[in-house]
Protein backbone atom coordinates (compact mmCIF):
# COMPACT_ATOMS: atom_id res chain seq x y z
CA UNK A 1 0.00 0.00 0.00
CA UNK A 2 1.42 3.36 -1.02
CA UNK A 3 0.27 6.39 0.92
CA UNK A 4 -0.26 9.94 -0.18
CA UNK A 5 -1.46 13.09 1.58
CA UNK A 6 -4.24 15.42 0.54
CA UNK A 7 -3.18 19.04 1.14
CA UNK A 8 -5.43 21.85 2.35
CA UNK A 9 -5.62 22.99 -1.29
CA UNK A 10 -6.92 19.56 -2.37
CA UNK A 11 -3.65 18.54 -4.03
CA UNK A 12 -2.27 15.00 -3.95
CA UNK A 13 1.13 13.68 -5.00
CA UNK A 14 0.76 10.26 -6.61
CA UNK A 15 3.54 7.97 -5.33
CA UNK A 16 6.11 6.93 -7.94
CA UNK A 17 5.26 3.22 -7.59
CA UNK A 18 1.65 4.01 -8.55
CA UNK A 19 2.61 6.30 -11.43
CA UNK A 20 4.76 3.54 -12.95
CA UNK A 21 1.82 1.12 -13.33
CA UNK A 22 0.78 0.44 -16.90
CA UNK A 23 -2.37 -1.34 -18.03
CA UNK A 24 -3.63 -1.96 -14.51
CA UNK A 25 -6.14 -0.30 -12.26
CA UNK A 26 -5.47 1.67 -9.09
CA UNK A 27 -7.80 1.70 -6.10
CA UNK A 28 -7.91 4.80 -3.91
CA UNK A 29 -9.17 4.76 -0.34
CA UNK A 30 -9.58 7.51 2.22
CA UNK A 31 -7.63 6.70 5.37
CA UNK A 32 -8.16 8.63 8.57
CA UNK A 33 -5.01 10.36 9.76
CA UNK A 34 -3.21 7.96 12.10
CA UNK A 35 0.36 7.06 12.94
CA UNK A 36 2.37 6.33 9.77
CA UNK A 37 4.57 3.83 11.62
CA UNK A 38 1.45 1.91 12.59
CA UNK A 39 0.22 1.86 8.99
CA UNK A 40 3.56 0.56 7.76
CA UNK A 41 3.44 -2.19 10.37
CA UNK A 42 -0.03 -3.21 9.23
CA UNK A 43 1.11 -3.19 5.61
CA UNK A 44 4.05 -5.46 6.39
CA UNK A 45 1.67 -7.99 7.95
CA UNK A 46 -0.65 -8.07 4.94
CA UNK A 47 1.84 -9.18 2.31
CA UNK A 48 0.44 -12.72 2.36
CA UNK A 49 -2.79 -11.30 0.91
CA UNK A 50 -1.13 -9.74 -2.12
CA UNK A 51 -1.39 -12.56 -4.64
CA UNK A 52 -3.03 -12.22 -8.05
CA UNK A 53 -5.73 -14.63 -6.89
CA UNK A 54 -6.55 -12.36 -3.96
CA UNK A 55 -6.80 -9.34 -6.25
CA UNK A 56 -9.31 -11.19 -8.43
CA UNK A 57 -11.28 -12.51 -5.46
CA UNK A 58 -11.63 -9.07 -3.84
CA UNK A 59 -11.90 -6.92 -6.97
CA UNK A 60 -15.61 -6.19 -6.45
CA UNK A 61 -15.27 -4.97 -2.86
38 Cβ contact partners less than 8 Å away, ≥ 6 residues apart: none
Q: What is the pLDDT of residues 28-55, one digit of tens each?
A: 777 777 777 887 887 777 777 677 888 8
Residue 56 has pLDDT above 80, yes or no: yes
Q: What is the pLDDT of residue 29?
A: 79
Spatial separation of the C-alpha atoms in residues 34 and 57, rounded to whole Å: 28
Which of these, 28, 30, 34, 33, lies nearest to 14 by C-alpha position? 28
pTM of the predicted model, to two decimals? 0.37
Amino acid sequence: MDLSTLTAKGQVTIPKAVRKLEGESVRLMVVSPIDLGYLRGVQAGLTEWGSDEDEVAFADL
